[in-house]
Structure 1
Amino acid sequence: MLPQTVNENILILVVQGRLQYTMNQATLIAEKGDLVFIPKGTYRGAENYMKEPHQKFSALFHHTIPSGTVPLLDKPAFTKAKVRNFEYIKKRFEALHREHLEGKPMHRFIGSGILQELIGIASRDVETGEISPMKWQQSGKIQQYITANYRRTIHARELAEQIGRSTNYTISLFKEVTGQTPVQYQRHLRITEARSLLLNTAMTVAEISEYLGFYDSSYFYRTFKKETSLSPSAFIALCEKEKDPAGEPDPHSSAE
Structure 2
Amino acid sequence: MSKQSGEQQIQEIKLYESKHKEKDLVQTHHHTTHQILYVLEGTGKCTLNQTDYALESDNVVLIAPYTKHSILSSSKLTVLVLEFNESFLSDEVRTELLPFVFKDSSVMKMSLFDSSELRQLLRKMLYEQSHGDNLRMLAMKIFLAELLFVMKRSYQSNQIADTNKLRVEWLRNYINTHYYEITASEDLSKKMGMSTRYVHSIFKEHYGKTPMQYLTEVRLELVKDMLLETDNDIASICFEVGFESVSTFYRVFKKYVGIPPNQYRTSHHEPGYGED
Q: TM-score range by the shorter chain?
A: 0.3 to 0.5
Higher relative CO (Cα under 8 Å, sequence separation at least 6) belongs to 1
TM-score, normalisation: structure 1: 0.45
TM-score, normalisation: structure 2: 0.42
Larger-gyration structure (1/2) = 2
